A = this chain, B = another copy of it.
Amino acid sequence: MMIKEQSNPWCIVQDVMDAAREGFYESLFSLGNGYMGVRGFHEDDCHKLPHERSQFIAGIFDAIDSGVTDMVNTPHYLHTTFTVDGEPFDPHEGKILDYKSVLNMKEGTLTRTILWENNQGQITKIEKERFMSLHQLHLACLRYTLTPMNYSGELMIETGIDGHVRNNPIHDDQMKANNKTVKLLEEVDVTGGVRNGYMEMVTKTRQDAIAESYVVKPLIPEEDIVENTKIQRDAYVCSRFMIRACQDRPYTFEKYISIFTSRDQVEGLKDTTLRLSEEASHIGYSALHHDHAQAWAKKWQIADIEISGNHRIQQAIRYNIFQLIQTNAEHDHRVSIGARGIMHGRYKGCYFWDTEIFMLPFFLYTNPEAAKNLLLYRYYTLEGARDNAKALNLKGVKYPWMSSADGREQCESWDTGSCEIHINGDIPYAIHHYYQVTGDVDFILDYGAEIYIETARYWSSRFSYDKGQDIYNMLFVKGPNEYGGVTLNNTYTTFMARHNLELAIEGIALLKEHQRWHDLAEKLDFDHKELDRWQDIRDKAVIHYDEGRQLYIEDQHFFDLEPVSLDDFKDGETPLYQKICFDRLQRYRVLKQADVIQLMTLLPKAFTQAEKMAAWHTYEPITLHDSTLSYGTHALFAATLGLDEAAWDYFEKSVVLDMEDVMHNTDTEGIHFASLGISWQAIIFGFAGVVVEEDGLSMYPRMPQQWDKIQFKIIYRKNLMDVTIMGNAAEVTLCEESQTEHIDMKIWHQVLSLEKGKSKQVNKTAAQINNQQQLG
C-alpha cells in the first residue's frame, strides 16, 4: 500500500475512498494532543459500531476483570449525521464522486472533502475539519459544511454526543481473538442548556467521571433555519437543525467540545467543562485554530527533522514525530505512552518497555521535561511494582510487562507477563540515559536512585545461585525475542540486569556524595550485605559467549533449536505467528527480533566491533522482524557498523511502517509508537551518529547516500544544538537559547569548540571515509 507522494511534505493525502482501506486510514489519521486521542473515523459514518469510534483520554482506565483494566472508550463527541430531504447520509449508499482527506501535520488538522450523490441524484459537498487543540488540551473543534450542489431542499443536521459506546478489550495474547464488547460507562447523565446552546454529558466508569460538553455555532442565516431543536435522551444529547437549503450555498456549523474528567481534579467538573466550551464558542474557530497551529509550530521548531533529496522519507519522518508528540501527555506524570498511544485500544492501552527504550529518546533530546515526566510515571507507580514483586515472591519492585494506571501487572499471558522481565532493567537504563543527556542530578537523588535500588533488589532475588559452580543463573526467562521460549540465561536480560546492579551501586555512591544516602537507606531498610550480593551477581552471572567466534549467544539453548531456512516460512511482511503458533516457533532457530543486536544498540561500548559483526552475521539472517521494534533497531545497528545498504533498507521499512502499512496491521493494531520512536533513533543515533556519554556529546555522522542534506536540533544539558549534515560535512550551531556560552563536541573524532550563537563546520577525513567503505 503506497501513499501517493504529494507536493507538500507536511501533508498526508488520501484521495480515493476504499471501504477495505478505511481501517488503515482511521489509524493513520488519528489525532491527539496528549490529553485525548481520536481515531480518524468519519464522524458521520452511520456504519461504525459503538466500539469502533474510538475516542480515548490518557489515563482513563477501568476494570474489565479482576485486576485487569482496559482504556475506556469515551462518549462520541464528534457524532454527526445529516439527511437530504429526509434521506440520511450513508457513505456506503449512493456514489462518492470525489473524495479527499488531508492530514496536515504542520498544523495538526484533519480536513476532508466528500462529494456525495445520493440515490435520488442529489449531490452534496461535505467539508469537515477537526483538531484537538494543542494549546488548550481539553478542547476539540469540528467545522462542518454542507453545500447542495445540484438541488435546493431540506437539510437536517444532527450533531452531539453519543454515549452508547462500548469497549472491545483485546487479549494481549496475539493468538486470542475477542469479539465481545463490554460497557464500561456505568452511569450517564445528560443535560442541555437550551438558552445557551450547549449540551453536556457526564458519564461515570467505576473509577472516573468523564464530562463532555459542546456548543454548536451554526453559521447559517437565521431565516434558513426552520427548526433548531435540542435532543436529550438516554445516553444521547444532540442539536438538530432543519435547514431550508439553497443550491450552491454552503451551510456551516462549528462545534466546540470540551472534555474534563475527575482525574483533572478541577473544581466543579460539569461547570468547568461547560465553561470551556462556551468560552471556546466565543473565541471562535479561527482564533482557536490559530492558537493550536502556533503550539504546533513551537513543537516543530525543535522537533522537526528536515531532509533534502527524499520527499517520501521527509514526509514519513514528520509523520513519526507528529504522532509521537500527539500521543504524549507531557504534563501528566500519572500516565505514560501506550504501545498504541491513545489512538487504539490494542493492548488495553497499556504501557510497555516501548516507552523507555524506543520512544523516550525522542523526547529526551527534543523535550527533556516531557522525558522526565515519562520517567516520573515509573516513580509514581513504584507501589504497584512493589506489589508485583511480592506477588512473584520476590524482593524490591517488578515493573509490569503491561502497565496501566497503578503499575500493577496487566499482562494476562503467563509466559510473557512472568518471564519477559527485562523491562525491570530497561527502565533504570532509560533513567540513566536521561541523566546522561540532561545532567539532572536531582532527578537521580529524588527518584532515580530509589528505582535503581529497588529494581536491583528484584534482580538479586531473581537470580539463582549455583553453589557447586559459584555462578548465578537466570532461570525461566524470556528475552525481547518473543519467538524464543522460556529459557535460561537470556543474554539481553542478564546484561541489562547487570547494568541495573551497577547503576544501583553508582546510585548509592551518588547519594552518599550528596548526603542523601542515610535517609533513603533507612526508608528502604537497606542492608549493606545486599551490596555484596549485587557485586557478586554482577561478576558471576552466566552469559553465554563463544570465544572462538567472539559471539554472544542469545541464551543457553539457542543452539539446541532447529535450524530452518527463512524462505520456507516467510511470506511478505505478514508476521509468522499468524501462520505458525508461538509454541511451535519457539523450537525453530528464528527470531522475532534480535535480542543481542538490540542489546548492542543500547550498550554499544560494552562490545567490540568484532563482537558486533559476529552478532550481525549470526542473528540478522534468521531474524523475521515480526516485531515492529525490529526494523529500526537493525537500521540503527547497521548504520553504526557502517553497513550502509542494510541500514538504509531497514530504515526505510521502519520509517514508513505505519504510513505505508508495511505490516498489514495498522488498521487492526493501530499505530506502532515504538516503531515511530526507533525510526527517529535510527536517524539521530544511527545516521547522525549522536552519542551521549559521561564525558560529553559526540557525533559520528554516516549520511545515507539517498539524502542530500539533513538538519535537526537536539537539546543537550539545556543547550540547543542545531545540526546540519551534508555528505561528509557537518555544521553545528550552539543556539541562542542554550544555557552555556560554549561547549565542546566531538564530530568524527574531531573536537569542535562551539560558542553560543555561532556555527562551526567540520569534514570527515579521507581516512575515515576509506575505513567506512571497507566496513560497508
Task: Please report A residues at the B interface, Cβ cutoff 8 Å.
Answer: 66, 173, 176-179, 391-394, 413-415, 418-419, 464-466, 468, 473, 475-476, 485-486, 488, 557, 559-562, 580-581, 583-584, 586-587
CB<8 Å pairs between A and B, sample of 27: A66-B176, A66-B177, A391-B581, A392-B581, A392-B584, A393-B580, A393-B581, A393-B584, A394-B584, A414-B414, A414-B415, A418-B583, A464-B560, A464-B561, A464-B562, A464-B587, A465-B562, A466-B560, A468-B559, A473-B560, A475-B557, A475-B586, A476-B485, A476-B587, A485-B486, A486-B486, A488-B557
Q: What is the count of identical protomers in the complex?
A: 2
* Chain B: minimal CB distance from A300 (Å): 45
**CA of A631 to CA of B587, assembled, Å:** 35
- Using A415-B414, A415-B415, A583-B418 as known contacts, say yes or no to A488 and B560 having CB atoms under 8 A apart: yes
Q: Which of A466, A473, A476 gathers most chain B CB within 10 Å? A: A476
Name A476's closest neighbour in chain B (CB-CB). B485
* Chain B: minimal CB distance from A478 (Å): 10
Chain B residues within 8 Å of A559, by CB: 468
Chain B residues within 8 Å of A473, by CB: 560
Chain B residues within 8 Å of A176, by CB: 66
* Chain B: minimal CB distance from A554 (Å): 14
Contact A475 B560 (CB under 8 A): yes
Chain B residues within 8 Å of A560, by CB: 464, 466, 473, 475, 488
Chain B residues within 8 Å of A581, by CB: 391-393
Chain B residues within 8 Å of A179, by CB: 66
Chain B residues within 8 Å of A393, by CB: 580-581, 583-584
* Chain B: minimal CB distance from A476 (Å): 4
**CA of A419 to CA of B586, assembled, Å:** 12
* Chain B: minimal CB distance from A634 (Å): 26
**CA of A415 to CA of B586, assembled, Å:** 13
* Chain B: minimal CB distance from A689 (Å): 40
**CA of A191 to CA of B465, assembled, Å:** 70
* Chain B: minimal CB distance from A619 (Å): 19
Name A583's closest neighbour in chain B (CB-CB). B418
Name A484's closest neighbour in chain B (CB-CB). B476
Chain B residues within 8 Å of A415, by CB: 414-415, 486
Chain B residues within 8 Å of A173, by CB: 414
* Chain B: minimal CB distance from A466 (Å): 6
Contact A476 B466 (CB under 8 A): no
Q: Which of A468, A580, A581 gathers most chain B CB within 10 Å? A: A581
**CA of A622 to CA of B476, assembled, Å:** 20
**CA of A197 to CA of B414, assembled, Å:** 55
**CA of A580 to CA of B413, assembled, Å:** 19
Known: A392-B581, A415-B486. 9 other contacts (CB 8 A): A66-B178, A392-B584, A393-B580, A413-B414, A414-B415, A415-B415, A464-B587, A475-B560, A488-B560
**CA of A466 to CA of B558, assembled, Å:** 12
Chain B residues within 8 Å of A562, by CB: 464-465
Contact B475 A561 (CB under 8 A): yes
Chain B residues within 8 Å of A413, by CB: 414
Chain B residues within 8 Å of A485, by CB: 475-476, 486
* Chain B: minimal CB distance from A61 (Å): 20
* Chain B: minimal CB distance from A639 (Å): 35
What 4 A-B pairs come out closest when comparing CB atoms? A393-B584, A476-B485, A418-B583, A486-B486
* Chain B: minimal CB distance from A19 (Å): 26
**CA of A642 to CA of B142, assembled, Å:** 85
**CA of A297 to CA of B565, assembled, Å:** 65
* Chain B: minimal CB distance from A540 (Å): 14
**CA of A394 to CA of B66, assembled, Å:** 35
Chain B residues within 8 Å of A465, by CB: 562
* Chain B: minimal CB distance from A140 (Å): 36
Contact A586 B476 (CB under 8 A): yes
Name A586's closest neighbour in chain B (CB-CB). B476
Name A562's closest neighbour in chain B (CB-CB). B464
Chain B residues within 8 Å of A394, by CB: 584
* Chain B: minimal CB distance from A341 (Å): 28
**CA of A180 to CA of B351, assembled, Å:** 28
* Chain B: minimal CB distance from A324 (Å): 33
Chain B residues within 8 Å of A177, by CB: 66
Name A486's closest neighbour in chain B (CB-CB). B486
**CA of A419 to CA of B177, assembled, Å:** 21
Chain B residues within 8 Å of A464, by CB: 560-562, 587
Name A563's closest neighbour in chain B (CB-CB). B467
Name A560's closest neighbour in chain B (CB-CB). B473
Name A176's closest neighbour in chain B (CB-CB). B66
**CA of A414 to CA of B417, assembled, Å:** 12
* Chain B: minimal CB distance from A282 (Å): 49
Chain B residues within 8 Å of A178, by CB: 66
**CA of A476 to CA of B484, assembled, Å:** 10
* Chain B: minimal CB distance from A393 (Å): 4
* Chain B: minimal CB distance from A665 (Å): 20
